Amino acid sequence: MGDFSLELNEDQLQIQKWVHDFAENVVRPAGHEWDEREETPWPIIEEAARIGLYSFDFVANCFLDPTGLQMALVNEEMRWGDAGIALAIFGSTLAVAGIYGNGTPEQHAEWIPQCFGTPDKIKLAAFGVSEPDAGSDVSSLTSRAVYDEAKDEWVLNGTKTWITNGGIANTHVLVVSVDPSLGSRGHASFVVPEGTKGISQGQKFKKMGIRASHTAEVVLDDCRVPGRCLLGGKDRLEERLARAREGKRTSSQAAMSTFEASRPLVGAQAVGIARAAHEYALEYAKQRRQFGRTIIENQAIAFKLADMQMRTDAARLLVWRAAWMAATAKKFESGEGSQSKLYAGETAVWVTEQAIQILGGYGYVREYPVERWHRDAKIYTIFEGTSEIQRLVISRAISGVHIQ
Ligand SMILES: Cc1cc2nc3c(=O)[nH]c(=O)nc-3n(C[C@H](O)[C@H](O)[C@H](O)COP(=O)(O)OP(=O)(O)OC[C@H]3O[C@@H](n4cnc5c(N)ncnc54)[C@H](O)[C@@H]3O)c2cc1C
């Protein structure tokens, strides 16, 4: 008894500070420029790789933290700097999660380091599930993988959409159907290595926010990958498909297992944006004078700031709980991962909107960062499962009822 604590340990504090310094000195000052340019911020990614932040070792080390908090702390600090640039730097980690969640130890060792490359030869990775007609409903994927036994190759066809780093990534990890009659139980994850023919970028999207992050379609046209690119291997797939055909429960569904593990980390990102906006608005409200007093002296403004602080802190606590539960293999009983992502995402949207209000006209123009933070925050109610889908997960978990 007595050893419960929310205090961060020395290692966590040290890494948190190191990432914060990078976010403050390199990422935040570049946020406006790359939002306007709507391009991948290569110089910043290079700098992150040079100091070892964008590296296999760093990310692997974070995931070794037994409390599960380290990666959440890193995600919060980076998004405090700038959400678009942070996703441009760390978008590859979604593919890492896909490989980690579905691959064998040999596949982890072969493919995960290739998602990062080295400071001299930086590599990016992408993770693709979504399709034009399969967003929230991932069971309806139409992209197909067919096995060519003679060559021990898989032939991939279809179109993926909204893919972060899609087409510019060196390595793509794609969830594709191998048996459409089984819905999401017929999915499998494939690595499409660098230099593979038959994979190309479709349209690049112009977005509302996180504009430094590249989002595009990925087109698969008779794209052939060797048999060893099937994550988990053929035997495990056959076994899983056989169980699904018999109507038995399968242990994991390819896309879902990836999303489940990453939701608290996505929540941590939203907390970072909310914190940035709250801090900025608080400072502003202490400086800005109207009617002969600072605007924070009005309860209307001060109470907003109190609520912004409270909701941001509450979101962080939900994130920490879910990250800790995931790391310590506690069973999610009431959609705790979804709760953290849902609450943090909606908090970021709400807090950034309050920040605009507190800055008045200055909040609405691009010379100040809060309108960008609001545009960036909005994605957190959409990607990695929309807010509605998170509510479905939570309500089903707490009720046991298959709510539609
Ligand atoms: C910038 C960006 C980056 C992205 N990056 C990636 C990526 O790297 N990899 C990837 O695979 N995907 C990525 N996505 C895709 C993202 O995950 C999807 O956009 C998201 O899952 C929603 O799918 P959809 O856009 O098709 O919306 P839809 O599923 O069509 O949803 C439309 C609306 O209907 C609601 N809705 C749908 N079903 C239900 C239901 N059963 N009950 C209640 N409401 C419902 C939704 O909540 C939403 O409000 C990205 C998207 C964006 C915008």
Q: Is the CB of 164 under 6 A from ligand 1?
A: yes
Q: Which residues are catalytic?
A: 384
Q: If you take atom 35 of ligand 1, which residue's CA is the nearest one?
A: 388
User: For 102, how many CA atoms within 13 A lie in the half-sphere containing its CB?
Assistant: 33
Q: Smallest Cα–Cα separation from 173: which of 129, 227, 234? A: 129
Q: How far apart are the first and last CA of the chain?
A: 42
Looking at the CA of residue 387, tell me the nearest atom of ligand 1: 47
- Its sign, for the CA torsion 78, 79, 82, 83, is positive
Q: Which residues contact 120 (CB under 8 A, 6 or more apart)?
A: none
Could you give the C-alpha distances from 339 to 29, 88, 234, 298, 390, in angstroms and in order? Answer: 32, 25, 35, 33, 7
Residue 355 has a CB neighbour count (10 Å cut-off) of: 30
pLDDT tens sequence for the chain (404 residues) = 668 899 999 999 999 999 999 999 999 999 999 999 999 999 999 999 999 999 999 999 998 999 999 999 999 999 999 999 999 999 999 999 899 989 999 999 999 999 999 999 999 999 999 999 999 999 999 999 999 999 999 999 999 999 999 999 999 999 999 999 999 999 999 999 999 999 999 999 999 999 999 999 999 999 999 999 999 999 999 999 999 999 876 655 555 555 666 899 999 999 999 999 999 999 999 999 999 999 999 999 999 999 999 999 999 999 999 999 999 988 889 999 999 999 999 999 999 999 999 999 999 999 999 999 999 999 999 999 999 999 999 999 999 999 99
Q: For the chain, how big is the Rg over CA atoms in Å?
A: 22
How far, in whole angstroms, is CA 232 from its chain's centroid? 23
Residue the block writes with tokens 């911020």: 41
Beta strands in 150-303 (DSSP E): 153-164, 171-177, 187-192, 199-204, 215-226, 289-290, 293-294
Q: Is 163 in the pocket of ligand 1 (CB under 6 A)?
A: yes
Do the beta carbons of residue 195 and residue 223 sit within 8 Å?
Answer: no
Was domain 254-399 assigned CATH 4.10.320.10?
no
Name the residue of 115, 130, 375 to mutate for ligand 1: max ligand atoms within 8 A of Cβ.
130
Ligand 1 center to residue 383 CA distance, Å?
6
- Residue nearest ligand 1's atom 6 by CA: 163
Q: In this structure, is the dihedral angle defined by the CA atoms of residues 384, 388, 394 and 397, taken in order, positive or negative?
A: negative
- CB atoms inside a 10 Å sphere around CB 291: 8
Contact criterion met (CB below 8 Å) for 323 and 339: no
For atom 37 of ligand 1, the residue with the nearest CA is 136
Q: Is 127 in the pocket of ligand 1 (CB under 6 A)?
A: yes
Among 3.60.110.10, 2.40.50.70, 2.40.110.10, 1.50.10.20, name the CATH number for the domain at 125-245: 2.40.110.10
Q: What's the CATH superfamily of 10-116?
A: Acyl-CoA dehydrogenase/oxidase, N-terminal domain (1.10.540.10)
127, 131, 162: which to mutate for ligand 1, most atoms within 8 A of CB?
Answer: 162
Which burial class, exposed, middle or buried, applies to 28 when counting CB atoms under 10 A from its CB (0-12, 13-18, 19+)? middle
Question: Does 383 contact ligand 1 (Cβ within 6 A)?
Answer: yes
Total length of the chain: 404
Q: Whose CA is nearest to atom 44 of ligand 1?
A: 388
**Domain segments of the chain as ranges:** 10-116, 125-245, 254-399
Which 3 state secondary structure label does DSSP give 361? helix
Check residue 249 and report its DSSP letter.
P
Q: Whose CA is nearest to atom 41 of ligand 1?
A: 404
